[in-house]
Structure 1
């Protein structure tokens, strides 16, 4: 696994994603839209005036998709590793579940069906146990 701390893109994506989620960034974007809207009469609501905001927002959106996806992928991978460690240290855990994200779709569906069945059995057992309890 490549060390993401050495990757300039990973650092840039993390910082940018962090800043993108801040209220000040939203305020800046909102202010930009308000200023653009108020300049409409000044430019006669021309095609160029509209093109400026359309092009700007498209470029920002396009680039942010990749930056945020990079951060999301890294966060998901870190979370998966943490979950794998929790599974690994549990003596009664099924260690075969540690790499589920790498299984083919059909295999994931099969494992999911097994856990749905286990959950249904557990609910039935719980309902029977609750029904067998004496009234207070």
Structure 2
């Protein structure tokens, strides 16, 4: 089930990011407006438009967030492995789990070490 969701999510995100999608959306909006004008925009027309637009945006937002979370976890795993295999200090591994002040302190310490070695 989890594998199937990931596959569907990847397909939907790649489809939503395709360059043809904005053209299709403009054509759909023009058709929607033309049909609405021909039937004088009844009240239900606006309700349906709002509901479909909100649900579509919410669904795409969830799919994109899922994809970004997975990509970010993979990126962190790769960076951790690069840190482990290099001469960098292992204190940088999983630095993203620290709070903002601790990360800034680590960054300042690193910049201090760079300036000392440059002199």
Q: Measure the CA separation in 1 of the matches of 2:4 and 2:61.
A: 17
Q: Deviations over 1:26-50 (max 9, x none)?
A: 2222211111122232121221222
Q: 1:115 to 1:42 in 2, by over 3 A?
A: same
Equivalent position of 1:74 in the other structure: 70
The answer as to whether partners of 1:20 and 1:26 remain within 8 angstroms in 2 is no
Equivalent position of 1:28 in the other structure: 24
Higher relative contact order (CA 8 A, sep 6+): 2
Q: 1:88 to 1:122 in 2, by over 3 A?
A: closer
Alignment of 1:1-136 (within 5 A): 7-91=3-87, 93-103=88-98, 105=99, 108-119=100-111, 122=114
Q: Measure the CA separation in 2 of the matches of 1:52 and 1:25.
A: 21
Identify unmatched segments of 5+ residues in structure 1: 130-136
Q: 1:88 to 1:124 in 2, by over 3 A?
A: closer
Identify unmatched segments of 5+ residues in structure 2: none
Q: Measure the CA separation in 2 of the matches of 1:99 and 1:118.
A: 16
Aligned length: 119
Give RMSD over aligned pairs. 2.4
After TM superposition, the score normalised by the length of structure 2 is 0.83
Q: Tell me, what secondary structure is at the counterpart of 1:53?
A: helix
Q: Measure the CA separation in 1 of the matches of 2:33 and 2:66.
A: 33
